[in-house]
Amino acid sequence: MIQGDRNTNFYHVSTLVRRKRNQILAIKNHVGEWIHEESAVKEMFMSGFNSIYTSSFTSGSRAAPNVSQWQARLSEEEKESIGGIASEEEIKSILWSLKAFKAPGPDGLHAGFFHRFWLIVGKPYLDKLISPLQMAFVQGRKGIDNAIIVQEVVHTISKKKGRVGYMALKIDLEKAYDKIEWSFIRDMLIRANLPFDLIDIIMSCISTVSTSILFNGEALDPIFSFRGIRQGDPLSPYLFILCMEFLGQLIEEKSNAKLWQPVKASCSGPAFSHLFFADDLVLFAKADHTNCSAIRDVLDDFCSLSGQSVSDAKSRVYFSPNVDRESRESFCDILGFASTPSLGKYLGIPIKHPGSSSRDFNFILDRVKTKLAGWKANLLSLAGRVVLIQAISAAIPAYVKQCTHIPNKILEGIDRVNRNFLWGSSKSSKKIHWVGWQKVTKSKEEGGLGLQTTKGRNTALLAKLNWRLHVEEEAIWKGRKKGRATFNEGSMWIVGRDSKVSFWWENWTGKGTLRYMIQGYLTQGADKWKVGDILSDLCWDWDRIPFELPLQVQSIIQATPNPFTSRGQDKLAWSGNSRGIFDLWSAYSIATKEVFSPPFNYGWIWKLQTLLRIKTLLWLCTHNSIGVKVCLVKRGVVIDELCPICQREPESIIHAIRDCAWVKAVWV
């Protein structure tokens, strides 16, 4: 909006569409009848939310049983630390991290007041209290790690043979945030060994709230809660995952008792019994009656103590192919869940099973089509359409693209939608694509608009996964092969003392792997050499190599910094930039590189102090891509190229902008 597309019809129409979509005209009751009367609809909303926020513990709170080897607990020193008075620096840091008057409480104070202790309680100790199998809301942990692990374990299950079968369960919790009991939250805070005065402050924050339903712009009477935590409250996610930690401890207790047998994704890898991302739960176990009974007991115990309820209708169990039909039915009877050939999506990412196809990813293409609707193109300039493509097309599929390879059919479909939207084409109206997509997707310095191809972006993000695999030692997942080529080309090892980097198979010279620079076979054992094996007395020992290296290869090795001059261990560096740290832009450039790219001499356009839409118009001019008659004749749209205004000369771009007699008056 700041760059030229201000308060135009686009924003007015967008507001009208959103208002129409959010309007409630009718609601279906529990017997399937549609209620249209406004007062009855309001009453149904009020009664429904009142039932949600009413405690299910009618006879008082229930004490959670002791769990052996309880890990989520602060030490006495840490307890004393967070119970002390916050320093001025800590308070200032919190206040500066929040926007003014954001999320005011019942007393009118903004969110910064209620977060007074959050930075002290949350960030330093949350990682200690929460299991590494819970990836949500803990600094440094990423949800895509869960998605990758689930995919790998499900892949292992789908390939299982032999007598022992496995199963994966996708558990759906009904209204997880809204149904958690306050007494259970207090119990978990006590178990975490937080100071009692701090527990009282936290409980007063979550128990003194009321909620109003906004019905077609009208606020209904307030609803007072007796359980649950507010979504949108910055404190709520951390309280929720602390409560979910109790479920994880129950599972660990069953696993230690050999009643719940986890599943390994590989022979030497870790075993997984569960993975949590907030209320998205996936469980793994051996497929037998003992494990099924243990799973059902754990879920029932957790729900009875916390107030949560598992939706048996929405929860599903996926069995390995070596579990026969009769056994599946028996296990499902114990669990109370239906069997499924596909677990669908987890954290918004399709879980691939045998028989999966590109149709599983159609939802990405459909969302892009919805966001880039044709009417929006008619109300935006070319510059505005570029910005919208960058915002929508880059954001919607990005989460999926960074942890799985999207089928080429879907990637090409997204690019096709982007192309058509950029030039205003639709099914009913075809428009000229003045500049080829290959040029459009170049950087602005190379003559493009800075848009990216979906396939190149997918490859760059997968290369980032490979980077994380090498540099994050505590990552509990394995990398993907897709994107490996881009990663290998853009990265190199800086070798240290006693280097363990492969001499032949890894890039430590900055020129690529040495194995592909020589011909012939390696002698037995030579393919396993490390860089440190070819060093002796602070210099390269060529005699250890049983054959003569080409002079070019020797020069490359000698030009590499001597490992004895560097301290520490081998370090991976990214050669795409001077900092040695991975970045997506350079990875994208490697993934989409071309043999030859002609120079673009008009980069100064993007440095002009003017509106973006004018810069975009000048960019079109540099590519001879304006709808003047000379350009239209080349495309076979018209026959006559004479200027329709002066009727003297051909209507070229320079004629239309500067040389036409009618236009010259503008410049005088």
Cβ-contact 50, 58 below 8 angstroms:
no
pLDDT at 595 exceeding the cut of 60: no
Cβ-contact 144, 399 below 8 angstroms:
yes
Give 355's DSSP letter.
T
Lowest-pLDDT range of 75-89, 271-285, 438-452, 581-595: 75-89
Comparison of pLDDT for 251 and 60, the residue scoring more:
251
Instruction: Record the tokens describing residue 586, joined without a space.
Output: 């350079």
Residue 122's pLDDT is what? 39
CA–CA dist 663, 594 (Å, integer): 41
Local confidence band at 495 (pLDDT 50, 70, 90 cut-offs)? confident
CA–CA dist 359, 349 (Å, integer): 13
> 165-181: per-residue pLDDT in tens?
999 999 998 888 888 88
Lowest-pLDDT range of 11-15, 302-306, 309-313, 610-614: 11-15
Residue 285's pLDDT is what? 93
How many C-beta atoms surround the C-beta of residue 339 within 10 A?
16
* Average pLDDT, integer, range 355-359: 75
Question: How many angstroms separate the Cα of 473 from the Cα of each of 116, 268, 468?
Answer: 34, 16, 9
pLDDT at 424 exceeding the cut of 60: yes
Sequence-distant (6+) residues with CB within 8 A of 73 are 129, 191, 192, 193
Residue 296's pLDDT is what? 94
The closest of 443, 442, 440, 424 to 432, measured between CA atoms, is: 424
CA–CA dist 187, 179 (Å, integer): 16
Residue 538's pLDDT is what? 63
Residue 519's pLDDT is what? 75
* Average pLDDT, integer, range 267-293: 88
> 117-143: per-residue pLDDT in tens?
444 433 455 555 555 555 544 555 566
Residue 80's pLDDT is what? 65
> 49-74: per-residue pLDDT in tens?
888 878 777 655 555 566 655 666 66
Give 270's DSSP letter.
P
pLDDT at 448 exceeding the cut of 70: yes
pLDDT at 2 exceeding the cut of 50: no
User: Phi and psi (nearest 5°) for 425?
Assistant: -80, 155
> 371-404: per-residue pLDDT in tens?
887 667 777 888 888 888 888 876 777 778 877 8
* Average pLDDT, integer, range 535-552: 73
Q: What is the three-class DSSP state of 34?
A: strand
Comparison of pLDDT for 390 and 550, the residue scoring more:
390
Residue 543's pLDDT is what? 72
Question: How many angstroms separate the Cα of 604 from the Cα of each of 384, 434, 452, 647?
Answer: 20, 21, 21, 34
Comparison of pLDDT for 68 and 572, the residue scoring more:
572
- DSSP for 511-522, written as a single string: S--GGGGS-SPP
Residue 554's pLDDT is what? 76
